[in-house]
Structure 1
Amino acid sequence: MLLPLGAVLARPAAAHGPSRLKVTQKIGIEAPADKVWALIRRYDALKDWHPAVASSPADKGEAEGSVRIVTLKGGGTITEVLERHDDAKRLYAYRVRDGGDALPVTNYASTLLVTPDGDARCTVEWRGAFYRGYPNNDPPPEKNDDAAEKAVNAVYASGLANLKKLAEAR
């Protein structure tokens, strides 16, 4: 009798939906924080420092609620909404409204932050929280937790590496 009861009790756990995933990447840059912040502070500047982005116009600049349409060089668009922009703290936070098929994630929110490490060095942190692209149980491989984390890590790594290159070259 214990075996069938155990099987019944295990079912609710299997029916539980996906867990919220988190990715954080940091990079040290040999440049002052204000200089690096100047490169990324404009909400429409993503195209200027992220190598995968062809265009990134923002309809209201750095105003809360500004909508940014990110067009990727490899195809696809992502619609993002600015939730917070703080020049004093050198950060902005945004949420993806529509990721199309560009990223295998849903309910994605992200923050970019530049922190000084003395006068001539800083750390840039890019962090995000999201759910995998397939919200139900048994997701296909291209929309499971691993695919979601891998995709976001790749976006952050390529963007931060290029930002470092640009900031340190100037």
Structure 2
Amino acid sequence: MHFSLPDLFPRGLHVERAARLASPADLVWATVGNLADGTIGEGLIERVEVTGEGAGAIRRFHLPGGLSLTERIEHHDPAERCYVYRMIDHGPLPFTRYLGCAQVLAAGPDAAVISWLAMAQPIDGEAEAAQATIEANLDHVMAALKRRFGG
């Protein structure tokens, strides 16, 4: 990835996940890189709404009970199969200043690795809940992509 995540400000939490998928990287990217695709939120979100395209796009995840989370895409690079996003409305989540990066890497002609990084600052007294929430979300993303693409 040519885009480096600058250390814009310190974040207390850092979570990384990666999974091998049994599908070509371009096929996986067609889902992961499509900001309006709801695969990564299957079972957790009701719908995804996207305004704009690529860097600068706004993506809103609509959750049950009328709640939502909103992200701004900071970087979107189809050639590198990666994007960086910043949560701009955290809704009820126990953290703030969330920055994430997803990248799909080729692992041979018929396999890919999905790599996901998330950083955030827990709200005072919420460090354990924030860590658990981010880990559970990324674990959910990995499981959803494995169901879709094999793993």
Q: Which TM class, normalised by the smaller chain length?
A: 0.7 to 0.9
Pairwise CA RMSD: 1.8
Q: CA deviation at 1:118?
A: 0.9
The count of residues paired between Structure 1 and Structure 2 equals 141
The answer for the alignment partner of 2:146 in structure 1 is: 164
**Given the superposition, is the C-alpha separation of residues 39 and 98 from structure 1 closer, same or farther in structure 2, using an over 3 Å criterion?**
same
Paired-residue identity, %: 28
How big is the shift at 1:75? Answer: 5.0
1:49 positional shift: 3.7
Q: Tell me the CA shift for residue 19 of structure 1.
A: 5.5
Query: Structure 1: which 4+ aligned runs deviate by more than 6 Å?
Result: none
Q: Deviations along 1:34-69, whole A, 9 cap, x unmatched?
A: 111111111121x2342212211111022x211111
Which residue matches 2:15? 23
Q: Which has the higher helix share?
A: 1
Secondary structure, aligned partner of 2:100: strand
Which residue of the partner structure matches residue 115 of structure 1? 105
One-letter amino acid matched to 1:117: A
CA distance in 1, matches of 2:65, 2:51: 23
Q: Is the 8 A contact 1:49 1:166 kept in 2?
A: no
Q: TM-score, normalised by structure 1?
A: 0.77
| Larger-gyration structure (1/2) | 1
Please give the secondary structure, in 1, of the residue aligned with 2:148: helix
For structure 2, which runs of at least 5 residues remain unmatched after alignment?
1-9
Alignment partner, residue 3 of structure 2? none
Q: Measure, in 2, the Cα distance between the counterparts of 1:159 and 1:82.
A: 18
- Give per-residue Cα distances to partners, 1:69-112, cap 9 Å, x unaligned: 111246521011000000011001100001110x2110000011
Deviation at 1:168, TM superposition (A): 2.7
Which residue in 2 is equivalent to 1:34?
26
- C-alpha change, 1:36 and 1:65, in structure 2 (3 Å) is same
Amino acid at match of 1:67: I
51-60 or 18-27, which deviates more: 18-27
- Higher strand fraction (1 or 2): 2
Return the alpha-carbon distance in structure 1 between the equivalents of residues 34 and 146 of structure 2. 17
CA contact (8 A) 1:50 1:163 kept: no
Structure 2 CA distance, aligned partners of 1:28 and 1:158?
15
The structure, 1 or 2, with the larger RCO (C-alpha pairs under 8 Å, 6+ apart) is 2
TM-score by length of 2: 0.86
- 1:26 Cα deviation (Å)? 0.6
Query: 145, 152, 158: which one pairs with 2:127?
Result: 145
Kindly tell me: are residues 153 and 75 of structure 1, through their superposed partners in 2, closer, same or farther at Cα, counting changes over 3 Å? Answer: farther
